[in-house]
Amino acid sequence: MYDLLVIGGGPAGYTAALSGARAGLRVALIEQLSPGGQMTETQQIDNYPGFDEGVDGFTLGFKMQAGAERFGAETVAAQVLSVDFTASPKRVVTDSGALFARAVVVATGATHRHLGLAEEAALLGKGVGYCAACDGMLFRGKTVAVVGGGNSAAADALLLSKLCKEVYLIHRRDTLRAEKVYHTPLAQAENIHFKWNATVKALLHGDKLTGVLLENKDGTEETLALDGLFISIGRTPVTSLFRGILDLDEEGYIIAGEDTKTNIPGVFAAGDVRKKPFRQIVTAAADGAVAAYFAEAYLAEQGEA
Ligand code: NAP
């Protein structure tokens, strides 16, 4: 029996666990993979304060875990199967058994959006990937493409341009969504080639990916021979467990204000899983601290903290 259960071990989750534990709450955090969440896919994080040389996502994740555990937060390595937030205490069922708590912070983050093409899942790890920072090394000296026009696609293309022979950036419009800071380095990288107004219509393959069929805005098609394709078209929230339980917006993000309070008293949503305008590690961490603050206040109101 815990005061506070945190679901998800990214920056929001571990900051909630740290803040709750420092406030004297009995806290457990449930994480199914390694600490850090989406951060673990980033080799160089320069926009989280306190690291003058930047930091890699794995290191930052483990530091966040260690920081929370220093104050007594426990990490439970398990997968959450179902939740009952209306029960008292609230119940979270995992593949290692049920856990109970008086308050819960949901910090399950978001995961990669898929193009939805035939064979996309089957070719994962066979030329198709979603994480250039994780798998880029496999394509050293080869020809790859990145799909997308946001900050992630821009960062992926730049990373890959340092490893690969040629990098194509395939974007469905003729202007990038990525912030200006990326535009000049992308334009200056001699081995990055833009494919504007183009979408991937089909994945070409034998046992592994051999290329893509592109459809241009004017209706013409072209084949691009590739060794690898990184799909970097945004994210979807990890909220299927909470559908019908917590209020979600049309994209599946949990509806909660800056106070992180959901529609169920004692349940808070922190980080990328929450409907919010700006998602960064630092804003996720801030959410975690806010969620722990209101969880503590909730428990005090209940006379249980
Ligand atoms: P994003 O900003 O939502 O951009 C997604 C991109 O993929 C857009 O260019 C979009 O095209 C394109 N796209 C979406 N669905 C598509 C489809 N079905 N087919 C083809 N293209 C598609 O996502 P993100 O780049 O992953 O970034 C997510 C969040 O993380 C953002 O808030 C971003 O700022 C943040 N982030 C920040 C940094 C940083 O601060 N350095 C680095 C990485 C990510 P349209 O432009 O036409 O919509």
Cβ-Cβ contacts under 8 Å for 84 (sequence gap 6 or more): 90, 91, 92, 93
Nearest to 27 by CA among 11, 9, 4: 4
Q: How far is the CA of 150 from the centre of ligand 1 (A)?
A: 4
Nearest to 105 by CA among 260, 305, 272: 260
- List, in order, residues 6 or more apart from 143 with CB less than 8 Å away: 164, 165, 166, 167, 168, 225, 226, 227, 228
CA distances from residue 94 to 29, 31, 61, 110 in whole angstroms, order as listed: 12, 10, 22, 19
Is the domain spanning 114-231 CATH 3.50.50.60? The answer is yes
From 3, 135, 156, 287, active-site residue: 135
pLDDT at 176: 97
Please tell me the predicted confidence (pLDDT) of residue 120.
95
109 lines ligand 1 (CB under 6 A): no
Nearest Cα residue to 237 out of 105, 112, 124, 130: 112
Instruction: Return the ligand 1 atom nearest residue 149 CA.
Output: 9
Using most ligand atoms within 8 A of CB, pick from 112, 131, 152 the residue to mutate for ligand 1: 152
pLDDT in tens, 175-201: 999 999 999 999 999 999 999 999 999
Q: Do domains 2-111+235-301 and 114-231 have the same CATH topology?
A: yes
The answer to whether the CB of 229 falls within 8 A of the CB of 127 is yes
2-111+235-301: which CATH architecture?
3-Layer(bba) Sandwich (3.50)
133 contacts: CB under 8 Å, gap ≥ 6: 41, 42, 43, 57, 156, 159
Long-range contacts of 61-65 (CB under 8 A, 24+ apart): 61/9, 61/10, 61/14, 61/34, 61/35, 61/36, 61/37, 62/34, 62/35, 62/36, 64/11, 64/14, 64/15, 64/18, 64/35, 64/36, 65/9, 65/14, 65/35
Q: Which parts of the chain have pLDDT scores under 70? A: 304-305
135 carries an active-site annotation: yes
pLDDT score of 122: 94
User: How many angstroms separate the alpha carbon of residue 152 from the centre of ligand 1?
Assistant: 6
Nearest CA to ligand 1 atom 2: 150
Residue boundaries of the structural domains of the chain: 2-111+235-301, 114-231
Task: Please indicate whether residue 8, judged by its CB atom, sits closer than 6 Å to ligand 1.
Answer: no
Among the listed residues 170, 173, 169, 175, the one whose alpha carbon sits nearest the alpha carbon of residue 157: 169
Q: Are 254 and 271 in contact (CB under 8 A)?
A: no
Cis peptide before 89 (omega within 30 of 0): yes
Atom of ligand 1 nearest to the CA of 46: 41
pLDDT at 43: 75
Question: Which residue's structure tokens are 């955090």?
Answer: 29
Q: Is 131 a catalytic residue?
A: yes
Residue with the smallest CA separation from ligand 1 atom 39 is: 151
3-state secondary structure of 236: strand
DSSP type of residue 134: H
Q: What global pTM score does this model have? A: 0.80
Pocket of ligand 1 contains residue 175 by CB under 6 Å: no
Whether 157 is in the pocket of ligand 1, judged by its Cβ within 6 Å, is: no
